[in-house]
Amino acid sequence: MRRIMVGVKRVVDYNVRIRVKPDNTGVITEGVKMSINPFDEIALEEALRTKEKGLADEVLAVSIGPADTQQQLRTALAMGADRAILVQTDVNLPPLSVATIFQKLAEVEQPFLVLLGKQAIDEDNGQTAQMLAALLDRPQAVSCSKVEIADGKATVTREVDTGLETLQIDLPAVLSVDLRLNEPRYVKLPDIMKAKKKPLDVKTVADFGVAAGSTFKTVKVEAPPARSKGIMVKDVAELVGALKQKGLV
């Protein structure tokens, strides 16, 4: 079976204003709207479009997180994924542990394509796709803004400092996607109802031989300092004077 595996992470919705906990140990998530990481949602949309073109038979959505992550996986199923797997844990795993779990799953599921968001908007690590490709010893392309699948190869376009770069890699492969790749579809109520009947398997971190602990420790989380009020200047001389007064020039 031609299968695409997509990583889906549960994060605070990008429209929500982030608030830091009073003890500075993290951000407040209680009672806060949670959603699929926007980059992962784009990866899922690309997988669905690939299937709709007849280039894949199944789309598998995978997530690692607490029990409530089933909500985001049900959204992925409502978008069109065929089945989902939740690796349940309350520990925030580092990228290498996440990549190792995805490696074990990929070895079982044998997808010809693994699609991930280029980064998660909560921690911005941007490491999992690269680590997964190395663990699987598969070709990779990161931050893809265009993907074309044909003749056992993936032709991808990615934005670099000098413009656009086009790469062609053999399949099976691991790709991470950027925001400009596509615009995810809206989920309709009938699809939400159908998603309730689609299979969603729950596994544990121990099933993959990965330690449940984290190698990272958050020392302190602080909100950015409040921005000072701007001022209007009449001309360049006044601008330069104001900059000198602040010690910026």
pLDDT, tens digit (0-9, with 9 covering 90-100), for 141-154: 999 999 999 999 99
Beta strands 34-36 and 153-160 are unpaired
The model's pLDDT over 25-34, given as tens digits with 9 standing for 90+, comes to 888 888 889 9
* Average pLDDT score over residue span 5-13: 95
Question: What domains lie within the chain, and their CATH numbers?
Answer: 3-245 (3.40.50.620)
The model's pLDDT over 103-130, given as tens digits with 9 standing for 90+, comes to 999 999 999 999 999 999 888 888 999 9
Give the DSSP per-residue string, 143-211. EEEEEEEETTEEEEEEEETTEEEEEEEESSEEEEE-GGG--PPPPPHHHHHHHTTS-EEEEEGGGGT--
